[in-house]
């Protein structure tokens, strides 16, 4: 009798976990969605080859086949990194940083962004290569290390890093993030606009290599899929000579960037 009781108990556990695990996975992927970074428009925050989690319920709940939110909570805040469908398309996803929320007055003068008169700017971050030829990690100078929050290190190197100036910018809310600018560009762009209701003004952190709201306008809230929260995988597809924070090389083309795993997105 004890033998049959154990069989029943084991069978119960098997059925329980057989139902529990798929249910958990369905719930997880209802809340989070994986997304692969396809371009360099968000460097140095996100690198091409980063795989991120997007929190789908950050701003509400969408139920297919509805295009808008079935349930809404507060919309994106300035500084949030969001994934959205390109306005005017049905299947082209972009990832950008929210710079303006409904009602904001956005001005861009000589490459400098102003939000309701607040100048979005910050100190230049001085970095050095972790080793000769390294293009993936950056060691901060003593002055820059004192300015950069610990959780935002290490700052990743990117291709053609020497052509860019990296700044630690701050928004009116105090939110900090990295942005990079091309040293060779004159920054002659000029823009002044007010963000309409239920829309957002977005920009790439790689300011001079990003197609964003400066070119094609605002992102309707209904187009936003969710908030990018963290990196869960990062692959060096570009055959770069990379190292982690301790100087250990990634191991060649298409290798894993271990030092970027499980990093939060700021």
Active-site residue identified among 96, 144, 210, 234: 96
Of the listed 41, 209, 210, 234, which one is catalytic? Answer: 41
Beta bridge partners of 107: 114, 192
Q: CA 95, CA 223: separation in Å to the nearest integer?
A: 12
Whether 8 is catalytic is no
Query: What is the DSSP-derived secondary structure letter of residue 24?
Result: H
**What CA–CA distance (Å, rounded) separates 200 from 203?**
10
Q: Are 152 and 176 in contact (CB under 8 A)?
A: yes
Cα(162)–Cα(14) distance, integer angstroms: 57
Annotated active-site residue 41? The verdict is: yes
Helix spans in the chain (H): 2-31, 142-147, 213-216
Rounded Cα distance, 102 and 179, in Å: 23
CA distance 50 to 31: 20
Residue located via tokens 């249910």: 23
Catalytic residues: 41, 96
């Amino acid at each position: 009798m004890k033998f049959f009781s154990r069989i029943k108990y084991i069978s119960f556990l098997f059925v329980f976990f057989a139902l529990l695990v798929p249910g958990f996975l369905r719930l997880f992927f209802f809340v989070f969605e994986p997304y692969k970074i396809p371009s360099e428009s968000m460097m140095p925050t996100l690198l091409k080859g980063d795989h991120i989690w997007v929190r789908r319920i950050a701003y509400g709940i969408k139920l297919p086949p509805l295009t808008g939110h079935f349930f809404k909570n507060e919309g994106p805040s300035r500084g949030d990194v969001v994934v959205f469908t390109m306005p005017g398309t049905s299947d082209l996803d972009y990832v950008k940083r929210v710079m303006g929320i409904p009602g904001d007055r956005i001005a861009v003068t000589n490459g400098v962004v102003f939000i309701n008169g607040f100048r979005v700017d910050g100190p230049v971050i001085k970095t050095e290569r972790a080793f000769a030829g390294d293009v993936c990690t950056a060691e901060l100078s003593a002055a820059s290390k004192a300015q950069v929050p610990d959780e935002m290190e290490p700052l990743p190197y990117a291709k053609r890093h020497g052509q860019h100036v990296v700044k630690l910018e701050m928004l009116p809310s105090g939110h900090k993030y990295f942005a990079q600018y091309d040293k060779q560009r004159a920054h002659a762009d000029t823009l002044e606009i007010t963000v309409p209701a239920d829309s957002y003004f977005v920009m790439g952190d790689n300011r001079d290599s990003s197609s964003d709201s400066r070119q094609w306008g605002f992102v309707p809230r209904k187009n936003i899929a969710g908030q990018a929260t963290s990196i869960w995988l990062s692959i060096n597809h570009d055959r770069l000579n990379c190292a982690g924070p301790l100087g250990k090389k990634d191991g060649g083309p298409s290798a894993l960037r271990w030092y970027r795993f499980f990093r939060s997105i700021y």
